[in-house]
């Protein structure tokens, strides 16, 4: 796996966790606690889905050799 897939997945995972950090604001978010982002739970889930997508796209897969006849070397 290339380094930039690891970096992308790590960045999105950290951002997802960081959006759940509680703080002192005047209005609660959807789960009922106070944080900077009123949609913290939804944003965190979306960021974690993005991190997983980047990770699985970056995983090296077994390369298949395709022949001109349409058969594969599996």
User: Considering its fold, how many domains does the chain have in total?
Assistant: 1
- Give pTM, 2 decimals: 0.70
At 69 the pLDDT is: 66
At 49 the pLDDT is: 96
Domain assignment present for residue 45? The answer is no
Domain with 19 in it: 3-38+50-58
Which has more pLDDT, 27 or 51?
A: 51
Highest mean pLDDT among 2-6, 52-56, 62-66: 52-56
In this prediction, residue 67 has a pLDDT band, given cuts at 50, 70 and 90, of low
At 74 the pLDDT is: 52
Q: What length is written for the chain?
A: 74
Nearest to 40 by CA among 25, 19, 17, 14: 19
Domain assignment present for residue 10? The answer is yes
Contact 47, 17 (CB under 8 A): no
Nearest to 35 by CA among 48, 46, 26: 26
Domain assignment present for residue 71? The answer is no
- Residue spans of alpha helices (H) in the chain: 3-18, 40-58
């Amino acid at each position: 796996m290339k380094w930039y897939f690891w970096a992308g997945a790590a960045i999105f995972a950290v951002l997802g966790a960081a959006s759940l950090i509680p703080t002192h604001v005047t209005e609660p978010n959807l789960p009922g606690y106070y944080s900077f982002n009123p949609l913290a739970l939804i944003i965190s889930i979306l960021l974690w889905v993005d991190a997983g997508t980047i990770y699985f796209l970056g995983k090296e897969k077994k390369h298949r050799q395709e022949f001109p006849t349409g058969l594969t070397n599996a």
